[in-house]
Amino acid sequence: MAMLLSVMVAKADEGMWLPYSLNGQNLAEMQALGCKLTAEQIFDLNQPSLKDAIVQFGGGCTGEIISPQGLLLTNHHCGLSYVQKHSSVEHDYLTDGFWAKSWDEELPNPGLSVLFLDKVADMTSEVLNGVKDGMSEAERREIIEKNTHNIKEGYKTKPFHKVEIVPFYSGNQYILFEYVEYKDVRLVCCPPWGIGKFGADTDNWTWPRHKGDFNIFRVYVDKDNNPANYSKDNVPMKSKKYLPINLDGVKPGDYAMILGYPGSTDRYSTSYTVKNIIEEEGPAIIDCRTTKLDNYRKHMDADQEVFIKYASKQASVSNYWKYYIGQVKQLKRNHVYERRLAQEEEFKNWVNAFPQLKSQYGNIFDGIEQKWQILDEIEKSFTYHREAGWNGGEAIAFSRRFMRIDKMIEDKAEKEDIKAAAEKMQGSVDAFFKDYDMPLDQDVTAALLGLFYKNIPSNLMPSEILRIGQENNGDFTAYVAKAFEKSVFTDKARLEKWMQKPKSLKKDPIYALSMNIIESYQELYARYEEALNLGNEGERLYMKGLIEMQSDRNFYPDANFTMRLTYGTVEPYKAADAVNYNYYTTMDGVMAKYVPGNWEFDIPQDVRDLVAKKDYGRYANENGELVVNFITTNDITGGNSGSPVIDGEGNLIGLAFDGNWEAMSGDLNFENKVQRTICMDARYLLWCIEKVGKCDNIIKELVIK
pLDDT at 5: 34
Alpha helices, H only, 456-508: 463-471, 477-486, 492-500
Tens digits of residue pLDDT in 521-542: 999 999 999 999 999 999 999 9
pLDDT interval class at 24 (50, 70, 90): confident
Closest CA to 14 of 655, 667, 576: 667
What is 2-40+55-80+191-219+240-264+562-701's CATH number, 3.10.20.740, 3.40.50.1820, 2.40.10.10, 3.40.50.2000?
2.40.10.10
pLDDT at 8: 33
Cα separation, 490 vs 170, in Å, equals 43
Cα separation, 441 vs 50, in Å, equals 45
Average pLDDT, the chain: 95
Cα separation, 137 vs 128, in Å, equals 13
CB atoms within 10 A of CB 253: 11
In contact, 432 and 85? CB cutoff 8 Å: no
pLDDT at 6 over 60: no
pLDDT at 7 over 60: no
% of the chain beyond a pLDDT of 70: 98
Q: Which amino acid is at 27?
A: L
In contact, 86 and 93? CB cutoff 8 Å: yes
Mean pLDDT of 425-439: 97
pLDDT interval class at 650 (50, 70, 90): very high
Mean pLDDT of 371-383: 97
Backbone angles phi, psi at 645, to 5 degrees: -100, 120
Catalytic residues: 77, 213, 641
Where exactly are the structural domains of the chain? 2-40+55-80+191-219+240-264+562-701, 271-543
Q: Which amino acid is at 623?
A: N
pTM, rounded to two decimals: 0.94
Alpha helices, H only, 6-136: 24-33, 39-42, 76-86, 93-96, 124-127
pLDDT at 56 over 60: yes
pLDDT interval class at 156 (50, 70, 90): confident
pLDDT at 26: 84
pLDDT at 3: 34
Query: 420 exposed, middle or buried (CB, 10 Å; 0-12, 13-18, 19+)?
Result: exposed
Mean pLDDT of 63-92: 97
pLDDT at 414: 95
pLDDT at 321 over 90: yes
pLDDT interval class at 4 (50, 70, 90): very low
pLDDT at 270 over 60: yes
- Better-scored residue on pLDDT, 187 or 552: 187
